[in-house]
Amino acid sequence: MKKILKITIRITGLVVLVLLFSFLSLLAFLHFTEFKPVSLSADLPGGGIGMPEPGKVITFFSWNIGYAGLGKEMDFFYDGGHRTRQSKLHTLACLAGIRQVIGRYDTIPFIFLQEVDRCSKRSWDLDEFEEISTNFPGHTKWFSKNYECRYVPVPLANPMGRVLSGITTFSKFQPVSWETRYYYTDFPWPMRLVMLKRCFNLFRFSLHNKKDLIVVNLHNSAYDSTGILREKELMILDSTLNTEYRKGNFIVAGGDWNINPKGFKTERIRTKDVVMKSDPPFPEHILTGWQFVFDPGIPSERYTDEGYLKGRTRTTILDFFVVSPNIRVVGIETADLGFKWSDHNPVIMKVILGNP
């Protein structure tokens, strides 16, 4: 009996050592292969060609496509679900549906996309950036990486594995400069090793009145229960955008903010969905006096703790535009797709550069 007990203890100890060594090895691997972003910028001589004359309507389109892996039937483990990816057949169907929807707007001058995968396990190694780019042969295109991890080890039963993803911007006009600015507002180590490195694109277009149009595509932090990371990011945006506005420039910033816009009211949603508010709310002291532009009656995002069921699945508005006070908004619409192809609905805005 004593001999069996000793053998059991030795085997248990050996298993614990193997597991501990494996965990420490994985941690070391993730640490030394961690994506360490560097903000980038470039000047593009001759930019601004084709920009519309003052008084003309300019249209913007923004959509978090959920890496073509968060269709209507999908739940996601980060939000309390169980899965990391749909079947390849469902993923291909979602990507085809996304491209079909975007194809309806291929004449729009500015297209903002978030969560665009390039060779990730969760999206079956599809290069979604190149696939979607074929929809816009007349646009210039940019891809800014905000998520790269060699191996996301959770959930343990079906790890998410390798991820390479980012934000994408398409423009019919040529900017005079572009920037990818990282917030550098990461989660603490070691959690940051497997999380996104949030950033935004900033494009500068020369206008006929010697001023600039500043266009920003962003995807801000989620899974930030304290709101600290989001507030830091919003403060960076506040400083950046107000600096440009004080120069007399026109500014449009849009994307997935992962926070409700100022003025959002749950009772105004008219789609018979369950509606939730983000907590904490958008800080009142940030972007004071700016216009928060969103469709108040249609949710732009659903929670992914379950597949989407109207009247049961929680929804909210996280996708919107913020524009400077010297811009006139002439239209805003959220396309109600019933979250068929993504856990977000696209948002389309029309503006005229000039005083409201």
Domain boundaries, the chain: 1-32, 38-353
Q: Which residues pair with 301 in a beta bridge?
A: 316, 344
Q: What are phi and psi of 28, to 5 degrees?
A: -65, -40
Residue-level pLDDT, tens digit, the chain, 356 residues: 667 766 777 777 777 787 887 788 888 888 899 999 999 998 876 555 667 777 899 999 999 999 999 999 999 988 888 898 999 999 999 999 999 999 999 899 999 999 999 999 999 999 999 999 999 998 999 999 999 999 999 888 889 999 999 999 999 999 999 999 999 988 889 889 999 999 999 999 998 888 999 999 999 999 888 889 999 999 999 999 999 999 999 999 999 999 999 999 999 999 999 999 998 899 999 999 999 999 999 999 999 999 999 999 999 999 999 999 999 999 999 999 999 999 999 999 999 998 65
The answer to whether residues 222 and 195 touch, using CB atoms and an 8 Å cutoff, is no
Q: What pLDDT was estimated at residue 307?
A: 96
The answer to whether residues 260 and 281 touch, using CB atoms and an 8 Å cutoff, is yes
Q: What pLDDT was estimated at residue 356?
A: 54
SS3 content of the chain, % helix, strand, coil (to 5): 25, 30, 45
Q: Which residues contact 296 (CB under 8 A, 6 or more apart)?
A: 263, 264, 265, 268, 269, 317
Q: What pLDDT was estimated at residue 225?
A: 80
The answer to whether residues 243 and 253 touch, using CB atoms and an 8 Å cutoff, is no
Query: Whole-model pTM?
Result: 0.94
Q: How far apart are CA 175 and CA 337, in angstroms?
A: 32
Residue 105's SS3 state is: coil
CA 323 to chain centroid, in Å, comes to 18
Residue 154 CB neighbours (<10 A): 12
Q: Where are the alpha helices (DSSP H) in 68-120?
A: 88-103
Q: What pLDDT was estimated at residue 223?
A: 87
Residue 80, CA atoms < 13 Å, CB-side half-sphere = 8
Q: What pLDDT was estimated at residue 46?
A: 59
Annotation: CATH topology of 38-353: Deoxyribonuclease I; Chain A (3.60.10)
Q: How far apart are CA 205 and CA 163, in angstroms?
A: 32
DSSP letter assigned to residue 271: S
How would you label 12-45 residue by residue, b for 16+ Cβ within 10 Å and e otherwise?
eeeeeeeeeeeeeeeeeebeeebbebeeeeeeee
Q: How far apart are CA 259 and CA 228, in angstroms?
A: 12
For the chain, strand residue ranges (E) read: 40-43, 57-64, 110-117, 140-152, 161-171, 177-182, 199-206, 212-219, 250-256, 274-275, 291-293, 301-302, 314-316, 319-323, 327-334, 347-353
DSSP letter assigned to residue 106: T
Q: What pLDDT was estimated at residue 340?
A: 98
